[in-house]
Structures are given as C-alpha cells and as structure tokens.
Amino acid sequence: MNIGEAAKTSGVSAKMIRYYEQTGLIPKADRRDSGYRDYSPADVHMLRFIRRARDLGFAVAEINELLSLWRDKSRQSADVKRIAQAHIAQLRERIDSLEQMAATLGTLADCCAGDDRPDCPILADLEEPGDGASASGPFTSKTGRLRHRP
Amino acid sequence: MNIGEAAKTSGVSAKMIRYYEQTGLIPKADRRDSGYRDYSPADVHMLRFIRRARDLGFAVAEINELLSLWRDKSRQSADVKRIAQAHIAQLRERIDSLEQMAATLGTLADCCAGDDRPDCPILADLEEPGDGASASGPFTSKTGRLRHRP
DNA sequence: GATGCCCCTTACCATCGTTGGAAGGTCAAG
DNA sequence: CTTGACCTTCCAACGATGGTAAGGGGCATC
C-alpha cells in the first residue's frame, strides 16, 4: 500500500506519516525496490489509532506512551487510565481558562452599546482591566492561550 | 524608559516587545544615543493593552485590528463589539471541542477497570471509535488541538 | 577612574504539529 | 514515448515564546 493510500484510509496525511516516522513515533516503513514506502493494514490500523488520539487532544508525546501500551499485550489498564485521566485534567484546565476569557468578553460586550459612539467598554477594559469580570487571575501570560489552527 | 522597565511595568517581556516591534504590531521605538530603545508611558499603556488582549486569548492578528480601533478616536464601538463577539464565538467552539474530548475520555475512563488486566476500553476506543461517546464528530483533524504551552 | 554588575543590543536556535514547495525518480495508462 | 499522478528527500515557514551567546553601554560603589 502506497503512502497516499495509507493516508486516505487512515486519515493521516502523507506528510504527517513521514513526519511521524522521522520523529520515531512510528517505526520506519518497509520500502519497495523503487524506494516507495509500503504499508500493511496493521500499519494503517496504527495510524488510525494515532489519528483518533490526536482528535482527542493527546499530544504526540502522550500518544507515544499510549502506543507502547497498545503494543504491549500485557499492559495494565491502570496505566492507560492514568494517562487518560491526566489528560482529562489538562483539558479541564484549558476549558476553565477559555471559559473565563469568554465570560469576561461576554460581560464587556453586553455592556457595549455597539453603536457608532466611540465609547467602548471593551477597549476601556483592555486599557485598564476592570474588577467585575476580570480575567487576569488564573491565566496570566502562559496559560489558556490557544495554538494557531491553520 | 528602558525596555526592561517597560517590560516590568507592562507585563510584556522585553523579548516580546522586540518581537512585536519586529513584526510591526507596534511602531519602532525611539532610540537614545546609546541605541537603547526608549519608551514613553503611552507606549507602556499600549503594551499593557496588548498584554491584556493576549490574556483574553486574542491572536496577534486580532490585536492588530483592536489596536487600530483603539488608536482611531472616531472608531465605532460596534466594530469592537463585532470583533469581540467573533472572538467569543471562536472561544466557544474550542471549548465545545475540548468538552467533547473530555467527555469522551471521561466515559472511557469510567468504563476502565483501572487494574492490572489488559482489557482497556480506552485503547479499544482508540483502535476503533465507539458510538457512545464518540468524539469524531465536530473536531476532525484541525480543530480543538491546543498549542503547546512551555 | 576603575571595577563589577546589570542591562542593552543583535542574532541565532528550539519548541510543537503541520503545511507548503522545489527538484527529481517511479509507475501506469494512453 | 509522453503525460500525469504519484512518490522520494530536503528545506522552510507558521505563531508566540524561551533560551543563549557575544559584544557593548550605564551606573553605583570603591
């Protein structure tokens, strides 16, 4: 199976398949005489596993952990559960940050007339954060910022 | 005012101030004879504006928009409100994605014995997503992924 | 006036996951 | 044989931030 086919059936782009191979997340694919990578259904299975884990927000490093547990038939489900729960906690933190942001902005927008007058509580708050719906607590400079999604 | 002082009083690191200048988010700072950048209280004010907007999750491109409205005294608060509301909608989308992820994982973890047996519904779902708490709907490959926060 | 310390400058490199492109080889169909 | 779709490798970029290194200035203290 070509990399293109593997990409289509797994949902992981060919670019990313090569990247995952390069970074060691997945083992080096077999090569045909032409140099083309050759994928088995089992490889595609693994790729779909990765894809699914990415969709669930796991970082590649975490997926690495999950993959070794997946490959290890004698794995303990407790290990997997631990990783999953740690990830859930991470997700909750980010959700909280985002909700704080949205709440702050929502309050400001509600106070905003939204007409053609230059008075704007949103800009005013950006200038000098108010107390009411302040978002300057839990997330300072490093937390709650989202990755740019292309 | 030195860049260090400006950084301290604005909450934006010196590094980022230079970066913002380089990328055109803020105008080039005045220079003293020594070559040091020189910042006025107004500049610091602007930096705090930026900082606050970053804390609220605005991307730099959005902050650019906000900054021009901020500088434009005849701005219409409707414009600001529009930007803010679009941003809120973005935040809500991401929150939804994250909540779906957390819910899916939570369900799986609840079903997981968490003992030393190899049977693990979490891994099973990663292999072949189930229907119950599937998270394969709204967020496919590009949505809901978080930026890595160092 | 010299010494030490901190700050400043520019200029790279790394991160993380992903996408894009260029330059060239392979394969299957016409 | 040609064409076009595929594959290969390599290199670069994104966005925001941190780090580091080398070289020089500013200021307080001796």
| E strand or H helix at B64 | helix B60-71
Confidence of residue B131 (pLDDT cuts 50, 70, 90): low
- A133 pLDDT more than 80: no
Task: Look at B106 and A125 and tell me if their CB atoms are within 8 Å.
Answer: no
- Distance from the Cα of B33 to chain A's closest Cα (Å) equals 31
Query: Would you say residue B143 lies in a domain?
Result: no
Q: Residues B98-120: what's their mean pLDDT? A: 84
Place of tokens 């980022």: B16
Confidence of residue B138 (pLDDT cuts 50, 70, 90): very low
What digits encode the pLDDT tens for the residues A49-95?
999 989 888 899 989 988 988 888 777 888 888 888 888 888 898 88
- Say what the pLDDT of residue B38 is: 93
CATH number at residue B53: 1.10.1660.10
Query: Would you say residue A135 lies in a domain?
Result: no
| E strand or H helix at A41 | helix A41-55
How many angstroms separate the CA of A58 from the C1' of C16? Answer: 13
Does B7 lie in the same domain as B63? yes
Task: Look at A52 and B136 and tell me if their CB atoms are within 8 Å.
Answer: yes
Q: Which residues put CB within 7 Å of chain C, the nucleic strand?
A: A 13, 15-16, 19, 32-36, 54, 59-61, 147, 150; B 2-5, 7, 14, 18, 35-37, 141-142, 145, 147-148, 150
Query: Would you say residue A90 lies in a domain?
Result: no
- Say what the pLDDT of residue B146 is: 38
Size of interface A-B (CB pairs under 8 A): 209
Q: Which of A117-121, B7-11, B63-67, B141-145 has the lowest mean pLDDT?
A: B141-145
Q: Are residues B48 and B11 in contact, defined by beta-carbon separation less than 8 angstroms?
A: yes
Q: Is B136 helix (H, G, I), strand (E, B) or coil?
A: coil
Does A54 lie in the same domain as A15? yes
Query: Would you say residue B52 lies in a domain?
Result: yes
Residues A18 and B24: their CA atoms lie apart, in Å, by 35
- Say what the pLDDT of residue A130 is: 61
Residue nearest to nucleotide C16 (CA to C1'): B148
Cβ burial B82-92 (10 Å sphere, 16+ → b, else e): ebbbebbebbe
Does B81 lie in the same domain as B52? no
Closest of A29, A48, A50 to residue A39, by C-alpha: A29
Looking at the structure of chain B, the number of domains it has is 2
DSSP string, A96-121: HHHHHHHHHHHHHHHH---SS-S--H
Does B86 lie in the same domain as B62? no
What digits encode the pLDDT tens for the residues A26-62?
999 999 999 999 999 999 999 999 999 898 888 999 8
Cβ burial A39-65 (10 Å sphere, 16+ → b, else e): beeebbebbbbbbbbbbbbbeeebbbe
**What residue numbers bound the domain in which A106 lies?**
95-127
Does B100 lie in the same domain as B55? no
Place of tokens 């995952």: A20
Q: Residues B25-33: what's their mean pLDDT? A: 90
Q: Residues B2-14: what's their mean pLDDT? A: 92
Q: Is A30 helix (H, G, I), strand (E, B) or coil?
A: strand
Residue B27's identity, in one-letter code, is P
Question: What stretches of B4-142 adopt beta strand conformation (E)?
Answer: 30-31, 37-38
* DSSP code, position B135: -
| Model ipTM value | 0.76
- B73 pLDDT more than 80: no
Does B67 lie in the same domain as B7? yes
